[in-house]
């Protein structure tokens, strides 16, 4: 989730260069009063001079995402997750499988822009099977289903011939590891009697990271975190993420799981690291493939994969720490 920013969505490098103009400035050639400015209405300080004939009006700067729409979509997604989670666990498992399948479809489409033909069918079937096996049989089911899925991907790709076999099969294995295994870990988190509360803790600390980072980065962001990977992310945004994650984690672990406040704070601190890493990994994937968003399904959010990136990276750490701190009941 790319919310640890200064308030504007990041685009592709080409878009950034196009918007900066020939001089590389963020304002480009539309700033009045600059020497040699073809669109300047007059000499410096002359604000009343008419524009030269044929001059096009300066383009308006894009202000970023439509925040009310983005919040509304987020609330609807949250209601869907909570409604299914606290009704019947198996319904939530179905919602999880649906999100994973849409994510696989988006990731496969992104690979296709570079001519990569990933074996989607065995990866999708194995992803759903891994989540189901993990929920039914625990870690043993996860390992067995993931191993068989890996084998299935390698065998499925063989009839396509040797040309590009390693490239395409590797893309399929990437999808299995990135989404299939992580979906299985989510099912492990759901499996205990208090699994619904564990899922809420995991999702809440991750969302708190995004929200805290977005607002802190928007109002106070000055120092870039990783400009070569995600130019909009700032250290101030990460600080806001850490504060929000630790507060939410401490409260929910104490309230929902009868754990200690410090245990929840540790989980929150770990979540801010993994959520930030998940953002950066997703940014690196999109930069390598030359795309801005993984999809367009969610208005003002991009694709499902653009919402899952932080959750995917946080899953294994949240599951492990909750197992250590608050043993499953």
Q: How far is CA 268 from the centre of its chain?
A: 17
Whole-prediction pTM: 0.75
Selected residue with higher pLDDT from 40 and 248: 248
Give the pLDDT mean for 145-163: 96
Q: What is the CA radius of gyration of the chain?
A: 23
Grade residue 307 by pLDDT with cuts at 50, 70 and 90: confident
Q: Is residue 100 part of a domain?
A: yes
Q: Do 175 and 123 contact (CB within 8 A), yes or no?
A: yes
Instruction: Give the residue, 169 or 50, on which the prediction is more confident.
Output: 169
For residue 284, being part of any structural domain is answered with yes
Range of the domain at 123: 67-77+86-323
Could you give the C-alpha distances from 292 to 70, 167, 198, 237, 244, in angstroms and in order? 17, 23, 33, 21, 27
Check residues 120 and 309 and name the one with the higher pLDDT: 120
Q: What is the pLDDT of residues 79-116, one digit of tens each?
A: 898 899 998 999 999 999 999 999 999 999 999 999 99
> Does residue 47 lie in a domain region?
no
- 155 inside domain: yes
Name 107's Cβ contacts closer than 8 Å, sequence gap at least 6: 118, 175, 178, 179, 294, 305
Q: Is residue 174 part of a domain?
A: yes
pLDDT at 227: 75
How many domains is the chain partitioned into structurally?
Answer: 1
Q: How high does pLDDT run on average in the chain?
A: 81
Residue 38 domain-assigned (yes or no): no
> What integer pLDDT is reported at residue 298 of this predicted model?
66
303 located within any domain: yes
DSSP helix/strand/coil, 153 = helix
The stretch 137-157 carries a mean pLDDT of: 97
In a domain, 290, yes or no: yes
Measured CA to CA in angstroms, residue 83 lies from 102, 184, 194 at distances of 20, 21, 16
Arithmetic mean of pLDDT, 163-180:
96
DSSP state of 60: P
Mean pLDDT to the nearest integer, 126-132: 97
* Distance from C-alpha of 251 to C-alpha of 253, rounded to nearest angstrom: 6
**Quick check: 274 pLDDT over 90?**
yes
């Amino acid at each position: 989730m790319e919310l640890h920013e200064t308030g504007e969505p990041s685009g592709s490098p080409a878009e950034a260069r196009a918007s900066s103009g020939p001089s590389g400035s963020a304002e480009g050639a539309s700033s009045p009063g600059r020497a040699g400015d073809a669109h300047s209405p007059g000499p410096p300080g002359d604000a009343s001079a008419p524009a030269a004939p044929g001059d096009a009006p300066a383009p308006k700067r894009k202000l970023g995402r439509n925040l009310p729409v983005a919040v509304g979509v987020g609330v609807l997604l949250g209601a869907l997750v909570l409604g299914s989670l606290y009704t019947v666990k198996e319904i939530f498992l179905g919602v999880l499988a649906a999100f994973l399948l849409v994510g696989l479809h988006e990731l496969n489409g992104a690979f296709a822009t570079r001519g990569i033909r990933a074996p989607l069918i065995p990866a999708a079937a194995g992803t759903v099977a891994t989540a189901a096996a993990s929920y039914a049989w625990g870690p043993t089911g996860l390992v067995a289903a993931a191993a068989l899925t890996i084998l299935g991907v390698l065998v499925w790709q063989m009839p396509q011939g040797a040309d590009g076999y390693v490239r395409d099969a590797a893309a399929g294995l990437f999808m299995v590891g990135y989404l299939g295994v992580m979906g299985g870990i989510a099912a492990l988190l759901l499996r205990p009697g208090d699994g619904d509360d564990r899922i809420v803790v995991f999702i809440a600390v991750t969302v708190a990271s995004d929200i805290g980072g977005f607002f802190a980065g928007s109002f106070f962001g000055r120092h870039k975190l990783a400009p070569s990977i995600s130019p909009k992310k700032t250290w101030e945004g990460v600080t806001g993420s850490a504060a929000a994650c630790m507060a939410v984690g401490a409260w929910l672990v104490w309230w929902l799981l009868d754990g200690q406040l410090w245990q929840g704070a540790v989980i929150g601190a770990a979540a801010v690291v993994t959520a930030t890493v998940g953002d950066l990994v997703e940014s690196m994937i999109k930069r390598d493939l030359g795309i801005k968003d993984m999809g367009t399904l969610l208005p003002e959010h991009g694709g499902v994969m653009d919402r899952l990136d932080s959750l995917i990276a946080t899953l294994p750490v949240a599951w492990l720490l909750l197992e250590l701190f608050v043993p499953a009941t």
